[in-house]
Amino acid sequence: MGSKLTLTDLGILLILLGFGMAFMGVLLSILSTQRARDKQIKAGGFVMIGPIPIVFGSDRKWIGLAAILVMAFLFFVFILKGGVGL
């Protein structure tokens, strides 16, 4: 009578876990800024919309780091997919 975890269930679980981690990150960020109002927060990241990466950041250093992360991400996706496949 054991229940099997299907790939669909695993995918939904991982998505919910991701939302939960994002929510916790926002809460922790809000709490840490409440304690240290005088500190400036610097951050950066990227979002993939289809094959198009969108890079953002609070200063040049973080934008550059996010751009490097995009290149590494695309390289690993290219390797895992096995090439272009035209």
Domain shared by 32 and 47, yes or no: no
What is the number of structural domains in the chain? 2
Domain shared by 32 and 62, yes or no: no
70: domain range?
Answer: 42-86
Domain shared by 83 and 46, yes or no: yes
Single pTM value for the model: 0.49
Domain shared by 66 and 80, yes or no: yes
C-alpha–C-alpha distance, residues 32 and 79, integer Å: 39
Dihedral sign computed on CA atoms, order 75, 50, 84, 55: negative
Domain shared by 85 and 50, yes or no: yes
Short-list 37, 35, 44, 42, CA closest to 65: 44
The tens digit of pLDDT for each residue in 10-42 reads 888 899 999 889 989 888 887 777 666 666 778
Domain shared by 46 and 79, yes or no: yes
Domain shared by 55 and 33, yes or no: no
